[in-house]
Amino acid sequence: MGFVKEFKDFAVRGNMLDLAIGVIIGGAFNNIVKSLTDDIITPLLLTPALNALNLSDLQDLTMFGAVKYGMFISAVINFIIVAFVLFMLVRTINRMRKKEAEAPAAPPAPTASEKLLMEIRDELRKK
């Protein structure tokens, strides 16, 4: 039973759950970015180039009949967009963390013994 308990502790550790959630959200985010690049940005950027070359689709951009450099251009644009979005996300998170770190923490409340010592000090000052 020790092995099963050890595996259970490992599998449900907080870091593992965070990682699993991150992977799932990353997959969903990938679909959004793919749609953004394939359906909006790539056509906007490459439509003039495709029209100038008398091509109708990005897949028609080939070199030597087999090398699909049009798809490579689409992948590069996709990477740039993902990298930029992640950069902006990390930048925003770092700014929020910096503001939290800069906020001065309230001094801790005095303990019971410190309160007693302050009362003694105040009584001695009165005399």
Q: Which CATH number is 111's domain given?
A: 1.10.1200.120
CA distances, 61 to each of 21, 44, 54, 55, 79 (Å)? 38, 16, 10, 8, 19
Helix axes 14-35, 69-102, angle to 10 degrees: 130
The residue ranking higher by pLDDT, 87 or 73, is 87
Q: With cut-offs at 50, 70 and 90, classify the pLDDT of residue 60.
A: low
Both tokens assigned to 33: 């970015």
In the chain, how many domains are there? 1
**At CA 84, angle to CA 82 and CA 89, rounded to 5?**
95
Q: With cut-offs at 50, 70 and 90, classify the pLDDT of residue 73.
A: confident
CA distances, 76 to each of 8, 12, 70 (Å)? 41, 37, 10
Residue ranges making up the domain that contains 58: 2-126
